[in-house]
Amino acid sequence: MRINPLKQHQQPIINGWLAIPSSYSAEIVGHQGYDSVTVDMQHGMIDFASALTMLQALSSTPATPIARVSHNDGALIMQLLDAGAYGIICPMVSTADEARRFVSACRYPPLGNRSFGPARALLYGGKDYPQHANEQILTLAMIETRDGLKNLDAILDVEGLDGIFIGPNDLSLTLTGTASAESQHPEMLEAVDHVLKRTQAANKIAGIFCTSGQAAADRIAQGFTLVTPANDVMQLSQAGREAVARARGN
Ligand code: 3PY
Ligand code: MG
């Protein structure tokens, strides 16, 4: 089976993020040097038919294809894995039970309850995908609720969970009343630091969404091991804005 480089990564993982439902965008982003690229079905404008073509496009690039599901839905998780996603990011994980349910959907029996039908995963992963998928599929639970913070250690204890991914917009919204991915609110700084330290202690991947390359570099310096330096929409908007300003001589 094609191994998943994200499972043994020695360097911080730089993870691209796709919200635009386009295989062409996915292909372009996949060629920019990212270790992995996430197809975002929660806040991206992406349905399963588009996600499939985007995963196909990512397969033609060096980036490892992963997906964020819209919610902790075993059926959707299994469909995306069958479509060749090599990792799943699950939003709003607030309890160990939810984390167990999430991981279970990513693992074939006896470790989990993933149903058999690897379809396109066989084409991307290889004929022996079924024998190795349980070790190769990456599972990241998003910590972005008060309960998720409260139950962090129990979530980190869940067997088969590879790491966490902080959703700083939702986390700051719930902690401070304002959604801000780079919030400097003291309560948010403390929460992010706490999640990072506990995740490091558990020896798992500590991931976070960021709004720029510089913000991602700062998170790596802080100790994070998986960062997303903004998504396609943010990058496209910023590049467009800057080009217009430059053209106008501003
Ligand atoms: C958040 O910041 O809440 C996210 O889910 C990042 O996409
Ligand atoms: Mg979120």
DSSP β-bridge partners for residue 165: 142, 207
Going by C-beta distance under 8 Å and a sequence separation of 6 or more, which residues neighbour residue 213?
A: 229, 230
d(CA 163, CA 146): 18
d(CA 92, CA 149): 11
Ligand 2 centre to CA of 142 (Å) is 8
Any idea where the domains of the chain sit in the sequence? 5-247
Determine contact, residues 181/225, Cβ cutoff 8 Å: no
- pLDDT tens-place values along the chain, 250 residues long: 999 999 988 999 999 999 999 999 999 999 999 999 999 999 999 999 999 999 999 999 999 999 999 999 999 999 999 999 999 999 999 999 999 999 999 999 999 999 999 999 999 999 999 999 999 999 999 999 999 999 999 999 999 999 999 999 999 999 999 999 999 999 999 999 999 999 999 999 999 999 999 999 999 999 999 999 999 999 999 999 999 999 999 8
Ligand 2 centre to CA of 173 (Å) is 9
pTM over 0.90: yes
Known catalytic residues are: 43
Q: Which of 142, 145, 183 to mutate to test the pocket of ligand 1 (most atoms within 8 A of CB)?
A: 142
d(CA 139, CA 159): 11
Ligand 1 centre to CA of 43 (Å) is 9
ipTM above 0.95, yes or no: yes
Residue nearest to atom 6 of ligand 1 (CA): 167
- Please choose, from the candidates 163, 151, 143, the residue with its C-alpha nearest in 3D space to the C-alpha of residue 203: 163
Measured from the Cα of 173, ligand 1's closest atom is: 3
Determine contact, residues 57/24, Cβ cutoff 8 Å: yes
Pick the CATH number of 5-247 from 1.20.1260.10, 3.30.420.40, 3.10.129.10, 3.20.20.60: 3.20.20.60
d(CA 43, CA 70): 7
* Residue 148 near ligand 1, beta carbon < 6 Å: no
